[in-house]
Structure 1
């Protein structure tokens, strides 16, 4: 393992950014080694309340500062993220166990999100004129007002990019943020926040709290003017219920059991290599990674041979450089779940074509990328999310059967289609029930397209992040109409009688002119 910039002094400086009044700490383990990385300060409910109070005061000035000021600050933060990428990469790898390359995807995503929101916020949120009910007599505009302070709850698996996709548009819209960081990803989030604070974001405007969800999660949701949650479907439902009790809006990105369809016109070797990355990037600990593959029978033999070969060739290891293809699971809990799913599948008759075992010789949480066939509904990994390096491959007889099988899930977050024909791939993609669909790519096409909305259907979530939709989450539209005085609107029965005819004529003229 090469040297990491995340030394005790750097860790202590990052931990100081947590809003916590308690002396209580919890040990956080480094994923590559299982050793204690640092003692993370724990926040109390009163710390959350205090953080919201300070963020609200800071938010008023931040909103009044205007789009131009926020743009300058966010673009400086963009540059600092790139300058500090080595520290960010080290923090991500140490906390999550992912490879250098997969950590770089997060830094790239965070920078892209920051740049996009900085330069787009004015165009999307400055407001515009709308057609009035009676042209010339009334003028109407829509303005957007920041909602206030957003509560952002993020998981451990992609701490940098998932934080950026919720926090940065909130800041660009003129809002403040109180973010609950998962313990395992707190250092990465604090390193991200540090770049924004140095760029000019007021420290009070973006507060970070840590602690167990049952202890402080409710305070984060209750204090928010809008809630962003990324995590499991079960927890997301509880967050949504609590937000609804307060009549607070929420966006939720939840679980997935993402399907990949391999059509019979593919180049088997290329499709297999791309599919392996789609399944095993970050060792499968990614909400949009592939856990189900449906391959048409005509190409099943060549594809399976190439897919297994590509999987076996993947280099596992714990390094802070670009010498490995896959890294480690993040925690013991993740390892336990993966082992349980594989053992259950094998016990019920599934076949392991690749992987299927832990690698304690490499580190405490390493597990080989695993390919299963013969998986049935009786097995836990058939419909339930594994969130690890396990994929099941099923052979189908036709394109229609593949589409039906891919859609036969309670989840609908991401899906993929591999085809030798762009037209065919897009046609199949249009029939898949998912919030994002990639053709000839696993997830990175849609995930990196920060100008396009990202989110799930069915039990994979509500609302969207990224794109104009991601910005509009954080504002309330306000309609402002003004009577021009050109014509007095009717107030009495006689005035209505006099104007009824001309108003009917106006509606007919507008229809004839194809006016809204």
Structure 2
């Protein structure tokens, strides 16, 4: 369907035609592209992925068996030793070249992301930005993060201690469908620069994006065998990745994350997990309601709400609730939905029937139990099979599924509060702890409230982008939202094993110089007291 033929996908402000929007899936996902991207992917069977925009098949893909997964790990392990021997600055240079290539060729991957996820193009572009920033950061900082570090020894001047960082080996990565560029290759970049190989299992429905990223990394100088991709059904292929990996990186649901953690624990290998969330936004009485309403639209409806760190609950002070809701609902009702491979649409599609069913079930349950619809609340099959209007609910109570279950769609529940303590207590009444947002004109107050929230990231006067985009700082979940962190020092050291090398010089750590056991013990005791007195650490 050309852009000129596309239906008006909003009731109030239809998406204006854009010339580039006339491209179709067939124009982008050609047999030649699929053949090039899947070259070398082990698969004894065949599977397919589909575009949410129409539900039609995009491509036939190799389907990996457990034996294919085992062979991928064998190839990766054979290549990893030589890759780890490459000086870290040369490994980092691959990431810097990859940064440039991603920015130069972003139009290619934007088309793929949109077709595989159903996102609006601007939301797909968030992934390009995130991956480029991560590549630049680790390309510049990895040599410092991984350098040998000197530490004080047991005996000053007599014990020389160096901490070394070794790659873990082959990292098994299980990536989700919702951010197929950022949460696949974006998470793999620090693993590669630390000297590891990676065997990645992307979601089948978004495998082309991950394969495109692999192809670009190889073009940037990464040895092809160091980055293996396996494709297949999660319950079949996922456990095999965990069974062979030296470390596991997983992003997905809390339920599946627990299974991954159990599998890794049984083999005594490390694991990092970014899991679910029921993220809260607090609008305090001194907030700029106009800015808060605009920010809430971004926080709740980017990528149609299919973002682990998006906002699903808003707590707004009673004194500004009416003003906030008037502006928030008006902005939400005016959002432009669209399918064109072009900038302009402000929200895209849900990824498939399962997400649509969850959204419809949560909204219907809430309305039947007395919640009020302030915006949305209906599917849009005229736009595409899985489109759903961005939805605001008020009057949500504890007995409604939408209250504490993760929706992972364009639905937000708004609640009123009268005190700061009440707002924090209600925001914290969830087993999740991934992201939160605080809106206030008082920066000091915002930081004070943020420190009381048990979430891995808190954004003041924005929804999620500042914390996530600050890649020098760690990002991850507390409570049921995960283990470990991505980004910054923690995001690369998790892919390494620490080794302490201690060299004893001149005197042994034992009785010497004619001392007997008692004299040695008294000597060491006096030494410890002196070290404390002179503030040795």
Distance, in Å, in 2 between the alignment partners of 1:6 and 1:508 is 72
| Selected match of 2:246 from 205, 208, 225 | 225
Aligned to 2:313: 292
Distance, in Å, in 2 between the alignment partners of 1:251 and 1:97 is 28
Cα deviation, residue 499, structure 1: 2.7
| Selected match of 1:495 from 502, 509, 516 | 516
Distance, in Å, in 2 between the alignment partners of 1:16 and 1:233 is 30
1:242-300 CA distance string (max 9 Å, x none): 10000011000000000000001112111101111100000000000000000010101
**Greater shift in the superposed pair: 122-131 or 506-515:** 506-515
Aligned to 1:302: 323
Aligned to 2:384: 363
Cα-Cα RMSD: 1.4
What is the SS of the residue equivalent to 1:162? Answer: coil
Checking the alignment, whether the CA contact within 8 Å between 1:11 and 1:38 is kept in structure 2 is no
Query: Is 1:239 paired with 2:260?
Result: yes
Checking the alignment, whether the CA contact within 8 Å between 2:43 and 2:231 is kept in structure 1 is no
What is the SS of the residue equivalent to 2:516? Answer: helix
Cα deviation, residue 42, structure 1: 0.6
Aligned to 1:459: 480
Query: Is 1:258 paired with 2:242?
Result: no
Distance, in Å, in 2 between the alignment partners of 1:392 and 1:419 is 20
Aligned to 1:195: 216
Query: Is 1:325 paired with 2:346?
Result: yes
Cα deviation, residue 319, structure 1: 1.4
What is the SS of the residue equivalent to 2:412? Answer: strand
Distance, in Å, in 1 between the alignment partners of 2:361 and 2:61 is 29
What is the SS of the residue equivalent to 1:159? Answer: coil
Unaligned runs of 5+ in 2: 4-20
1:450-478 CA distance string (max 9 Å, x none): 11111101110011111100101111100
**Normalization by structure 1: what TM-score?**
0.97
Distance, in Å, in 2 between the alignment partners of 1:165 and 1:131 is 35
Cα deviation, residue 20, structure 1: 2.1
Aligned to 2:119: 98
How many residue pairs were aligned?
514
Aligned to 1:7: 29
Query: Is 1:392 paired with 2:392?
Result: no
| Selected match of 2:399 from 378, 386, 390 | 378
Checking the alignment, whether the CA contact within 8 Å between 1:453 and 1:466 is kept in structure 2 is yes
Equivalent residues in 2 for 1:26-45, closer than 5 Å: 26-45=47-66
Aligned to 2:292: 271
Checking the alignment, whether the CA contact within 8 Å between 2:121 and 2:342 is kept in structure 1 is yes
Distance, in Å, in 1 between the alignment partners of 2:186 and 2:220 is 18
What is the SS of the residue equivalent to 2:366? Answer: helix
1:115-167 CA distance string (max 9 Å, x none): 11121111111121111011122111111111100000010000111113321
Distance, in Å, in 1 between the alignment partners of 2:508 and 2:288 is 71
- Aligned pair in 2 of structure 1 residues 302, 505: CA closer, same or farther (>3 Å)? same
